[in-house]
Structure 1
Amino acid sequence: MVKIYLCLEANYGLKSLFPRNFSAIFAFLILVSAGILFPVYVSAETIRGAAAGQQETLLRDWDGDKVRDRAGEVLVRFKPGAAPDKVLSSFSLKGKQELKHLGITKLHLDPAQLEYLLQTLAKNPAVAFIQRNHVYKASFTPSDPKYSEQWSLHNSQAPEAWDRARGKGVRIAIIDSGIDTKHPDLAPNIDRKADGSVNGYNAFHNTANYPVRDPYYETDPLPRDLNGHGTHVAGIAAAPANGQGVTGVAPEATIIPVKVLDKNGLGDEAGIADGIRWAADNGADIINLSFGGPETGYVIRDAVSYARSKGVVIVAAAGNSGLGTVEYPAALNGVISVAASNRANGLAFFSSFGPGLDVTAPGAGIISTLPTYDTESANEGFPRNYGMMSGTSMASPFVSGLAALVLAQDPSLAPDRVEQVIKSGTVDIGPSGPDTFYGSGLANLSRSLGVPASPGPVYKGNDSNEVNDDPAGGTVIPVNKATTFSGSFDPESDADWFRLDAMPGDLLKISLSTGTNADGVIEIFGGNFAKPVLIADNGGAGFTEKTELTVPQAGTFYVRVYNYNGGMSGKNYTLKIEHTGKASPPPAPIPNPAPIPDPAPNPGPTPDPVPTPDPGPIPLEQKATVVTGSNIRSGPGTNNSVITVLYPGDVLTVYGNEGRWSRVRLSDSRRGYIATSLLRFLEETGTVTVYMANVRTGPSTSYNIMSVVRQADNLTVIGKSGTWYKVRLADGREGFIAGSLIEIRPAAGQDPGNNSYPKGTTTPYWANIRTGPGISYTIIKAVPMGTEVTVLATEGRWLRVRLADGTMGYIAASLVSLR
């Protein structure tokens, strides 16, 4: 049932062909899986329960469903020197495969025994890691075929870029559902061996992955596309300029077809990792991954790291959840993650965004090659030869093609440098500078190749509210007023954002009316774009959506509306939003007419007639964090014994120095010495809490007054001396203020000790805690599923955490479920 719904939802407008109770399922699937490979989410329980309480079911399923996997299959890596047969002797296995090219073993067993084996082997010291064999699926969001021209190339000045480079000599591996290598608009650019045969790979034909008896084994060694997704992706990246059909971004680059997905668009983690490694070993300069999901296992991580070590540029789709979380493998370090834009250079409604996003590229209404024969996509309504699709699956090969142009212009560039060149050529179309909605900006072919150019022609819609294509540019909703907005879902995949400030208990009433063929959807977000607070999608085409929300907490809320039916006609809409509440700014505070006398400092200080001399050196304590793994020693020098070891981000107190060494106090009160060069001193913010306060030259009232600060002034806190804080004023001067007169907000990475930091639990069976934010850092310890962590700070896609036993380190953010 899940497979059928995922295939059918790919066609805009098909929702109206099905019973009303399927609408919530369709709305959910379009967000999760449109145009990209995703782990399958929808369970049978979800489908059965969709008719009643659709909205609530959607929100629960967003958190609750698990990644689908091959029934009864497990992937395990044993540590060097381990005896796998001995470890496995107590289990009743149906089969075992040594995937030597991946360094892992695939186990086949009764699905009923799977959980027991996973938990047991996870605790075995001979096992490096163990995981289910996850399955990924391709599905698309095809569009109205009225846009026959390749707008994506014109918007990014492709002709100007092609005067500099066209991708000659660069090989792009399309790791996908295979490719129609005989397509007349692809065949000239397919990579060939010396004998003229296709230099490609079919992971389903490799008996190391799938024995001949395996139902997924394919007898054809060629990477023949039986789905259509891979052929479409290949044409975007590198279809030749041969006078036929379409032209790719890099029309002279070479395409290496690698098949890891079957005719249904399904492929498991072992096969995908195999394809990545094969491409890295067989000449690929660039790897395109138009698939993803909310998590990934060690096997794909290892494969990506391996390809990177071979100097391969890796580009991946950011995801099609429409939410503020970049999917994997795009979220992995070293992978260029790509969001999708529409014809008007706005963020497409289905595109994922969020921290870790690198660039945005055209991905809505993209015409490209399709197989010249019938495939599973043909059964879903796609034509032969050419067709339109939408998704970050389409945006990713656009950037892969751009990477080929960059490498053709300068083959010496390393992968990181290629990414920098691409980013430096982007057009800033969102908030100023890099942001979480568009990354560095919209990819531009000519600018990345050093051709001076302004942004290309942009399709203009007829919506007076534009530009409101991202949360930051959202149209402001007035407080305590019913407002009507007239807008248009134009161009295809357009989403319009609206924003308002609200207080607890405020009431929002929203209705969205559309044309006869449009199917409007309302979503409301709080500050967390990873999950909507509310989704309203209860009717089909022409249905007026209505919803209400009682605001749970103070903050800025965002309303997103879009047309589920994409390219269908009837794009004009009317949005009515009634905000009833108290979210008006508070009145200005009334100044206290009576100054506070010392020792709560005098608001009208009179300079001492005779300055009091400073009594000598002032003892000062400062908060600091270590910047690398560091030894704490018993004395100031490397000849002294090591007391303990601290890791990046650990916070300590510095209370003196001896030469190049600092005297420090640890969180457990132990004292020692550390090289000062290994420390980064933390600065906190202190807010004045009284009407007026004196800032003095030293930490007591016996020191001279150097300045006066007022209530709500913010000071930079440098350190502490007794009950006084050393602070830096706005003009750069430094002095001291009584600690009772300011409120301190801890610096990033410093736990205030009052449980104000968020808590979470680990989600995989085992997760590594490392010394730094990346898999290249040393593992401190491994923790089992459900381990509670306190999140102290974030660094990119990693979290700085503290465990219950006091251990501090880093863990990948995708492995933690926050409460």
Structure 2
Amino acid sequence: MKKFLSSVLAAILLMVTLLTGVSFGSPAEGHSSDYIEGQLVVSLEEPFMDSSQSVDDILMEADSLTESGFAIADSLFGQDAGTFSVQALDSDVRATAIEKMGLVYLVEYSVKDYKSIESAKNTLEKKLDNLGFHVRYISENRKMYALETATVQDVSPQAIHNNQRWHYEMIKVPQAWEITAGSSSVRIGVLDTGIDSNHPSLKDLVNTSLGSSFVGGTTNDGNGHGTHVAGTIASYGSVSGVMQNATLIPIKVLNDSGSGSLYGVQQGIVYAANIRADVINMSLGGGGYDQGMDEAIQTAVSLGTIVVAAAGNDGRPSISYPAAYSGSIAVGSVTSSRTRSSFSNYGPGLDVMAPGSNIYSTYKNGQYTTLSGTSMATPHVTGVFGLMRSVNPNLSPAAAGDILRNTAQPAGSSDQYGHGIVDAHAAVLAAAGGGDTPAPSAPGDLISTGQTGTSVSLSWNPPTDNEGVTAYEVYNGDSLAATVANTSATVTDLTADTTYTFTVRAVDASGNRSEASNAVTVTTDSDSSQPSPTWAPGISYKIGEEVTYGEATYQCLQEHISMAGWEPLNVPALWLEK
């Protein structure tokens, strides 16, 4: 037990040493304390009305609801109802939103009148049914968050900060600027804590008249999180963002304490789609799966808005919501050494990675600071999408997402890194229609060069028209198993004594994929009871090999010759603990 506690303490101290500032993103989900007491979100099918009264009027005047302690607090698509409703939607946006989302309402009720949320839901559904409405769903209005409990450090008025532009260089932003540095016609909806519109690096880019607050008050940022995010998307001067020109729109869905609600974020998404935002940035999380949020994102995407969200900061193998919705681009975080940040969530559904550890950017009150989190990684990708829309305004969300994934820089397994680290230059080039437009031919002569009980090593020849090929995708059956830059790979995490079929495809800088190579079928070795050899210095280790060190087993991630000081526990870039 003491050893375990010591290990935990060491890990915490290491994180404190490595991370300067706050780690932003979603907290753990599913806790009962995450819902807002006395609030429900209701979606109704739009009825055929043979009445002069609107649905809003009928609901607000229904005695059966008020007598049961229910009150309509807000109508998402109402023209006048509610304090924070989305006003004056364009007719096509309203029609699309209602078709996908139904008629959405925020309903408040007296908690003391009901033993549980479920009893309140059941009663409300019966009352609405008696009024002649078909209920699509009733859900809790859960909390959303921008930040965790750490405090910001080293706030500075200094715009120039040495060695703090590495993240833009990693994703090849300077090369992308040779094509475009952005455009004021590109609208970025920043769903966050607001933006400091008077910040010297932002003031000419922020459009407050297009903005809106769904938590009351103005769109000014009293927290700092939203301003930091905005500055990474677009800013100018010595701390330039991914874009040097854009229209940043503050859509305040989180209050100055960094918290909001599912309903408020839904409002913000619909609002952003209504003002024709090219991209929505959501560096926030919480709430778990919610049908209404899913449908709001689908609505925005169907109207042409690209939705980008943070994968989460729990360091666990699952993507947090809203990044986990199929309509979102899920972004994880890497460090300056191109390895996954320890806090970054990973696993199925992860699209790409971007720098998120120790990111220097704008902050509230005209200041600058360093923060960490998938919240900081996400605006890098939003900025890249903004550059892509600058050169191709008609690029659809689906096509933009494909380009982003297909042009990403190989970084590791798809489970840990998605399709890789975003490449601004390659993505913008592809969006502009440049580069090698025909797809490359298929790689040739795929063979197995060896296997263990848990891994298979493969090699192949490059395609005959190899110019422009930036990566190779290795498939295990129909599933992407690895993305690499060279003509060999080792597929790991396999099951002993099992037969697998592999193919390889080439990908060029424009995102074009080749046909599949020849297939090779390999059976992994039988499980062996022999323990893995003990790690030792001076040994040449290959990818996939396993060793023991201390009481743990490690798998080699990169081919290397070991040396003293490179013990598996000390070098996570070379070894993965099993």
Name the TM-score, length of structure 1 as normaliser.
Answer: 0.45
Is 1:368 paired with 2:361?
yes
Q: Equivalent residue for 2:165?
A: 150
Cα deviation 1:227-280 (Å, max 9, x = unaligned): 11000000000012x3xx411101112211111111110101111111111111
SS in 2 for 1:262: coil
Is 1:421 paired with 2:403?
yes
Inter-CA distance 473–111: structure 2 relative to 1 (3 Å threshold): same
Q: If you compute each CA radius of gyration, which structure gives the higher value, 1 or 2?
A: 1
Q: Equivalent residue for 2:531?
A: 479
The Cα of 1:110 is off from its aligned counterpart by 2.8
The Cα of 1:121 is off from its aligned counterpart by 3.7
Cα deviation 1:678-703 (Å, max 9, x = unaligned): xxxxxxxxxxxxxxxxxxxxxxxxxx
SS in 2 for 1:187: coil
Is 1:338 paired with 2:338?
no
Q: Equivalent residue for 1:231?
A: 227
Task: Within 5 Å, give how 1:278-427 maps onto structure 2.
Answer: 278-293=271-286, 295-372=288-365, 385-427=367-409
Q: Equivalent residue for 1:91?
A: 68
Amino acid at match of 1:479: P
Name the TM-score, length of structure 2 as normaliser.
Answer: 0.62
Inter-CA distance 331–223: structure 2 relative to 1 (3 Å threshold): same
Counterpart among 26, 45, 48 of residue 38 in structure 1: 26
Task: Within 5 Å, give how 1:667-686 maps onto structure 2.
Answer: none
Amino acid at match of 2:121: L
The Cα of 1:186 is off from its aligned counterpart by 0.6
Q: Equivalent residue for 1:379?
A: none
Cα deviation 1:165-203 (Å, max 9, x = unaligned): 111121111110000000000111112xxxxx6321111
Q: Is the 8 A contact 2:191 2:282 kept in 1?
A: yes
Q: Is the 8 A contact 1:201 1:258 kept in 2?
A: yes
Inter-CA distance 557–157: structure 2 relative to 1 (3 Å threshold): closer
Is 1:117 paired with 2:115?
no
Is 1:200 paired with 2:211?
yes
Counterpart among 135, 144, 147 of residue 136 in structure 1: 144
Identity %: 29
Q: Equivalent residue for 1:181?
A: 197
Aligned-partner Cα distance in 2 for 1:446–1:357? 21
Amino acid at match of 1:111: V
Q: Equivalent residue for 1:766?
A: none
Task: Within 5 Å, give how 1:792-803 maps onto structure 2.
Answer: none
The Cα of 1:120 is off from its aligned counterpart by 3.5
SS in 2 for 1:288: strand
Inter-CA distance 399–279: structure 2 relative to 1 (3 Å threshold): same
Q: Is the 8 A contact 1:479 1:500 kept in 2?
A: no
SS in 1 for 2:215: helix
Task: Within 5 Å, give how 1:422-441 maps onto structure 2.
Answer: 422-431=404-413, 435-441=414-420
Counterpart among 262, 273, 290 of residue 269 in structure 1: 262
The Cα of 1:143 is off from its aligned counterpart by 8.9
Q: Is the 8 A contact 1:178 1:259 kept in 2?
A: yes
Aligned-partner Cα distance in 1 for 2:231–2:135? 43
Counterpart among 40, 51, 66 of residue 74 in structure 1: 40
Inter-CA distance 250–77: structure 2 relative to 1 (3 Å threshold): same
Cα deviation 1:272-331 (Å, max 9, x = unaligned): 111111111113111001112361322322221221121111111111121111111111
The Cα of 1:105 is off from its aligned counterpart by 2.4
Inter-CA distance 255–356: structure 2 relative to 1 (3 Å threshold): same
The Cα of 1:473 is off from its aligned counterpart by 9.9
RMSD between aligned alpha carbons?
A: 4.1
After TM superposition, the structure 1 stretch with the greater mean CA deviation from structure 2, 362-371 or 97-106, is 97-106
How many pairs are equivalent?
410
**Which structure shows the higher helix fraction?**
2
Aligned-partner Cα distance in 2 for 1:369–1:436? 32
SS in 1 for 2:348: coil
The Cα of 1:97 is off from its aligned counterpart by 3.6
Is 1:108 paired with 2:85?
no
Aligned-partner Cα distance in 2 for 1:129–1:77? 5
Inter-CA distance 178–483: structure 2 relative to 1 (3 Å threshold): same
Aligned-partner Cα distance in 2 for 1:133–1:251? 37
Aligned-partner Cα distance in 2 for 1:135–1:316? 16
The Cα of 1:122 is off from its aligned counterpart by 5.1
Aligned-partner Cα distance in 2 for 1:25–1:261? 31
Q: Is the 8 A contact 1:73 1:132 kept in 2?
A: yes
SS in 2 for 1:204: coil
Q: Equivalent residue for 2:178?
A: 163
**Which structure shows the higher strand fraction?**
1
Amino acid at match of 1:75: V
The Cα of 1:481 is off from its aligned counterpart by 5.9
Amino acid at match of 2:376: M
Aligned-partner Cα distance in 1 for 2:104–2:63? 16
Inter-CA distance 438–170: structure 2 relative to 1 (3 Å threshold): same
Aligned-partner Cα distance in 1 for 2:203–2:373? 25
The Cα of 1:424 is off from its aligned counterpart by 2.3
Q: Is the 8 A contact 1:406 1:421 kept in 2?
A: no
Contiguous gaps of at least 5 residues in structure 1: 1-19, 42-63, 192-196, 206-217, 374-384, 456-469, 487-496, 511-555, 561-570, 577-819
Aligned-partner Cα distance in 1 for 2:31–2:314? 14
Q: Is the 8 A contact 2:233 2:380 kept in 1?
A: yes
Cα deviation 1:86-116 (Å, max 9, x = unaligned): 6635522477443435732222223342522
Q: Is the 8 A contact 1:95 1:109 kept in 2?
A: no
